[in-house]
Amino acid sequence: MKKIFIYCCMVLSCFCISCGEDFNIFFSIDDEKALGLQVSEEIAADPTEYPILPRSGNEKAYQYVEDIMNAILNSNEVNHKDDFDWELTLINTPTLNAFAAPGGKLFFYTGFLKYATSEAELAGVMAHEIAHSDKRHSTESMAKEMGIAALLGIVAGENAGALAQLASQIAQTGMALKFSRAHEYEADEYSVRYLNSIRSYKEYDPIAILDFFDRMNEENLSEEDGKFEFLRTHPYDANRKENVHKIWQKLGSPTGQKFSAEYAQFKALLP
Ligand SMILES: [Zn+2]
């Protein structure tokens, strides 16, 4: 039955990947979770490309970032808060990057954590990544790159080659997770919305993601120089800043804190 289903998807995938509603019909939440699990297992199995910071010995660092993730997941604007298996993994390299795999699997590089200057800034970028996963942008990007049939093959355990290819693509080019500009605008919007909606729980500055954009601009980090991997998967343009401001004003220009001192203590925990 699954094979017939996959065949139908092969025929139809070229029509449905451009249409969100059809995409949701062909790729269920359970498929999404299974794909996320397989991608994260593949990543864990490749310590050369992805040297995961072990939890053992780094409990405090993990606790700190997981507390931020769980604070954001308190937002009633996260659709898949309860049905995704949210998990945050730290990769111990100087790479300036973070990415969201399907089904709530988030990956942050220690290089990126050291680059951020406040807890609110990290929360802003983490909320952006949570939005990519929650809005299923990650799966949509992968489907555009590989086709839904290949993704369903991975979920069914019938496409080990495609799974390995997917994991190495994420590592080498980030292409499998390269988001469209529309995805970036939506993830930025929900970064502000999530942080605003949890202010009674944790009063983060809802637009702290702009600190990250501003510093990136000041340092003239570009997609081409290869230093800043984040730009290869998250295309940036000046309108993104304007978009963040608009959403923030629409929400009544809420203010909050940066939690910079706490963040400095956290950074001291990193290897
Ligand atoms: Zn993004």
CA of 57 to the centre of ligand 1 (A): 30
CA of 159 to the centre of ligand 1 (A): 27
The predicted-structure confidence for 65-96, as pLDDT tens digits, reads as follows 999 999 999 999 999 999 999 999 999 998 88
CA of 218 to the centre of ligand 1 (A): 19
**How many angstroms separate the CA atoms of 118 and 191, rounded?**
16
Distances (CA, A) of 2 to 7, 78, 102, 126, 166: 9, 30, 21, 35, 21
Give the pLDDT of residue 125: 96
The SS3 call for residue 173 is coil
In the chain, how long is the greatest CA-to-CA distance?
57
CA of 142 to the centre of ligand 1 (A): 14
Token pair of 144, please? 């555009």
Q: In the chain, which residues have pLDDT < 50?
A: 1-19
Nearest to 3 by CA among 161, 159, 136, 146: 159
The predicted-structure confidence for 160-199, as pLDDT tens digits, reads as follows 787 777 777 766 655 556 778 889 899 999 999 999 999 9
CA of 229 to the centre of ligand 1 (A): 12
Share of the chain above pLDDT 70, in %: 81
Residue pair 176/166 in contact (Cβ under 8 Å)? The answer is: yes
Nearest to 148 by CA among 87, 102, 86: 102
Buried b (16+ CB within 10 A) or exposed e, 210-249: bbbbeebeeeebeeeeeebbbbbbbebeeebbebbeebbe
CA of 8 to the centre of ligand 1 (A): 31
The SS3 call for residue 109 is strand
